Amino acid sequence: MLRPILKYGAPALHQPAEPVPAITPEIDRLIDDMIETMYAAPGVGLAAPQVGVGLRVFVVDVSVGRDSGSLIVMVNPRFVVREGTQIEEEGCLSVPGFEATVLRPARVVVRGLDRDGSEHEREGTGLLARAFQHEMDHLDGQVFVDRLRGLRRDMIVRKIKKLTRAGKW
């Protein structure tokens, strides 16, 4: 089932998510819905707070469904390694229409639970490292706009406020 994606400004996007206590049928359904919603968007990643669920779950697929082996589900993830830096353009399904260059780690290793409850670890470089950090930020109540500084951030926030006032956000 597709779930509506919340936009920047929605309270669920700006507060830290809670750990998942157990993989229940409800969590399993949430994961199914998140995968479906991510592919439909389409996007390379989606975190539970983006669909209004304050739990530490994200899904990532840098192939956007083209390669069946690249779907990654992470429940209660944490960083094991974060190193180097990269600066690339980045966007977010919760901030449609805006992109900005964001400083991210070049390589990360994330450990968490798979959807069957088993522990797994995934390494990411390049786009995957960026996606992991982007989704982890969502679990901590951070949107990429919050990582920007100065004029670029002010401009995006101002435009979003304007769109919100006009009922177009």
Q: Which residues are catalytic?
A: 135
For the chain, counts of helices (H) and of strands (E): 3, 7
The site that binds Zn ion (CB under 5 A) totals a number of residues, namely 1
Are 2 and 40 spatial neighbours (Cβ–Cβ below 8 Å)? Answer: yes
Nearer to Zn ion, 92 or 113 (CB): 92
Residue nearest to Zn ion (CB): 92
> Closest separation between CB of residue 14 and Zn ion, Å?
12
> Closest separation between CB of residue 45 and Zn ion, Å?
7
> Closest separation between CB of residue 116 and Zn ion, Å?
25
In the range 81-140, which residues lie near Zn ion by CB under 5 A?
92
Q: Any idea which residue has 């157990």 for tokens?
A: 22
Q: Side chain identity at 4, as an amino acid letter?
A: P
Nearer to Zn ion, 23 or 72 (CB): 72
Q: Please, which residues have CB within 8 angstroms of residue 62's CB and are 6 or more apart in sequence?
A: 44, 70, 127, 128, 131
Nearer to Zn ion, 103 or 117 (CB): 103
Listed residue (33, 140, 135, 153) closest to 94, CA to CA: 135
Q: What residues form DSSP beta bridges with 55?
A: 18
In the range 11-40, which residues lie near Zn ion by CB under 5 A?
none
- Please report, as ranges, the residues that interact with Zn ion according to CB under 5 A: 92
